[in-house]
Structure 1
């Protein structure tokens, strides 16, 4: 067995962390003050005798005095006194004009005295009793912040909504709308979050301190929802904003770069990421930008570019971000087959991360794989060290089994088959058995198969099947023995084993393999009817099989049907094979389809397949006769560019005489009809060089004259016309050459001579010729006008319009 390991087992973490400036790491801090309550207006006691007002003002005075106190104990005591006054005021004057304000200041006094739950009760009273009052917005904010900081986002969001509804200023409203959206986002209610971010963005009042942050957060959510076309313009506004802070511009640039990469716009992606990497003020985002640049190139499989970006900046990230940066570099080195360099990078990851970290595990495994690629003699010891670290906690991890496979392969390559058998037994726990003989026989057979000893494998498996017919691995043992018989050159015995598997009550996988492998043997043995039967049975029995297997069955079924002259039946199977796995069977299936449609005389389908073969660079598989036939069909259907494209495939430009003159003739006509006169001339000349038939000679000279005329080579065209006329052309060729000569004379400003040519054609052609006759009448009319003979020109115009009322001059 070659030293390879299943790379599907090599997974590396490549997720880019989008750096977002959340509100103080997910909390609303005190530096974001509550909305300011309205100022209390002074009252003139000489004008108003109001005991409630006096009571309220006394509480306010105590509150303000407490705020001014510098000693903490004095402050708390002051707020306690204010609490007492405001509480008694509300009990005595619950409906007083200042009741709302008193409830608010009572809550503030509680809050500043450290009695948070009492404060929250007061804020709730403000919202309940005065939902549209002056203090509602501030109260809602205080409650919302409390819930937010306790990660009760579902409770915080509605309170931020109430804050927005009651806000006394645009700034407070915008802030509340943003925090409502952010709370919904953290709660996982993305749709509501988007709605509130949009409300901030659409808010008409300026300034809007939360617009860039809302654009960033909305863009991020749209990106996660794969609404990339909506997300990118929002993020671009943040990146290009003159007012946005670096903490917003940096993450926006990185997110925009990731989106552009997803859209396939590598240039735009690099623009954003380079901005984050190079712009002064965004230094702390450089590692993330570098990682994003590396990631986009890694996704494009531009591994050399990943390494180039990696080497451009020595600035390291932190923690798992740095591990991710190194992993991208290491994996790229591996893809470039630079295993020594990769090995060193993975060692760096191992040094910086704890052993139980997923990056450390990944790096350790990939380092082991690099070592395996470089040299294999000491792999078993390396694998044992790896297993000692990780096998206990990750017994079923694919990488553990891949490492075991490396060890087993090394042992096999060192011809230590018995040791290898033991390791293979560890790779899949289902192979471990209390009955040592079962495992020994089965795994020894596998080792023998891997070491290309099919006859030895047949003996071991026969012993296993005979001794343990009821073992759960009996079906797979039959499959393995069938493969061994096949490799040993005993196809009939292999077919017998595959048929036994099909007849057993075993798993679908085994029965699928039995049908596919047995069909392959029938193909190799030339038993095409049997092959067709088996592939059909596979498709009918396992409609949900993997696409790769169904593609294989469909292709070879189509191939067999073509070979057995059931061409029409083959078409749907060939189409299915191409659809299911175009990478593997697309070209061959296309060849089959082209041949089938040619056999069935389906011109449109043949032309389509030839064009597809050109696109897929598979046209070499098609016979020239098929391509020539397709070219003629395209020409007959006036698809001249397609016809020319096909003729070009079968015309030998280097040795023109090896190509039939009919090909050159039609090639030239197709190019001429496709308005490619310059390209048509070589083909026309090649046909004329070998043409001996006078009729075809004149036809070719007509084509050449038309091409030269189209290229405005009037003297050359006239010379060819005269050469053609010397051969005395007949019929439509004669008409065509005279018309061409008239056209040349018109361009040479000799309308009188042109009239003579056009008149001769007009007289010659029948009125039933609705193609050339109206055209030559029109040309004659134009020549007479240019000559100055308006009366005769009018006569021909009337004749044309009477006989051919639906005909219009070219370009009109």
Structure 2
């Protein structure tokens, strides 16, 4: 034994001496990694985010260099993981994911593979890619070094399955944690709690209860224990285990976990109410104020209110129901509380029951139209009003009540007034039912015309034009002299208008006017307008025009504009210049000229132009032009507009119109005519050089006839205005001696030639042409 001890000591001495004598080996890969690791820790420790991100960004290239230089070093996985984290913390997520994927794919196992998988798992989880996240967390669960990290990974894996709706997979993962003795307690307890919830979602109540109950014992974390107790109570309640449920709920209410107490209190009150222990419900309510979510508070106040109602403590019940109604406005729970509050008032013969019911119905009837309690609330109101003999008001309350409840003596009045009130309030289906019952039971009642008319309007409001038309025709047939027949004619005509049966619409309006010649002005004007409108639609313009004129004359404010617009279309279709011009002027007086289409203005302008009405032609052609987009106006209209403006002295405006024409014209003769007008316009504004250029350009196109003559006259006028009288005379003499011209042009040319020669000092020659003027046109100078 002593020998063995000496041998072991000797071996240890030799080993120690060998280790001390071994030469030092340089490991730059280790040294540089340690430096990088130190920089990484420093970056992690920085408190200012911008500085921290900058440190990560500065470290990333160093780590890349390290990995490229030492790809097989033992620290390469760690360096690669740190690089991925640097990218991730710097916001370069795609680069981070790529690097971390590389760690997992290259190294397969180890701490840094687990850490990379953990980061990628959280990244996928945040982006709601739960299935992918679960795969990463499973790697964390199998590769991490410590039990805490492994079971944290397993717990996250289970959570991913839960979020993705894979309940069975989640149960499997949570069960692995629950069964593992080396798993941290917090994970095992939370796994059991989650298993309870998952079994409950699968409606496996007993298994869920077993899980929750196993957590209701000393040593379990308080928040988990109380959460489990609450759910154990709820499941026990559902499984009709009332005593067990109450015990669990009491346990919750006696705990220090405030957030669970409100639900426990509500659930406990529900159990006690189900067992008809109404006083115990009150006692539980008074046990403490544990405010919870509005839905929970609504349940508590409703249960307290119902218990008070059962004990006939109506004043207290009203208070509780009002609180319940306020918790979740307009919800089903609020509706129930509101109804029971009404019922309490009804039982104590409270005041203003009808108004309270109206307020209740206004809020809840649109949302819960088929709920029996709506019917019962209406019955409360109807009975109260009926006892006060307010039958007209009661009709609205009897909307869904069997009519026989009010008795035979009041049935006709009830049906009539109910139908009337329902039609006024917009419940046209209800009105039709009531009116139909009335006509079926009382066809000869003096109110039948009103009922038929009202029912027809209700059908019309519902869009049932066929049924409405049948009612209006029945009214006309059965009661032709009743004033309501006029209403029937009018409404039936509107139906025909909607159906685009314009001849029948016209017939009905005309029949109304014949049958009732003393109708009010508004009704008659309305009929005349639609008669005119209908005839316009069928292109019977001759009949449309007088009706439209009458409507416009009777009520100009109501129908003036629309009638005049239709008169414009009728006149345009008939090519009636005078009526069209009158209608256009009427519309423009109302500052509505922009409503008239350009082609109408253009057509009217052309007619005025051809008729020599150049001022009107200029006005209408101008209204029909598009100076903001000249090419939208056909070029011929620009030419006419320019000429008209020259003739009436609007030379600046003429130049604009002629410019638009000359920009696009190609025909030489048209261009020559436009250049003639342009020369005149330039002359009119005193731009003599531009005028001369335009006139010469026009002559260069070699026009014949009057255009050539007029261009030479204009050249003469330009020279005359420049006091170049000899040149002016040369232009005038060509017109007089060479060109054939009409008498007016020849007379003007002789007179202008006389003036030019006289101005240039050639009085003798001037006198010759003056004598010719007096001989050929003896009255010219007198004029």
> How does the TM-score come out when normalised to structure 1?
0.46
- Where relative contact order (Cα < 8 A, 6+ residues apart) is larger, the structure is 1
Q: TM-score, normalised by structure 2?
A: 0.47
Higher helix share: 2
The structure with the largest alpha-carbon Rg is 2
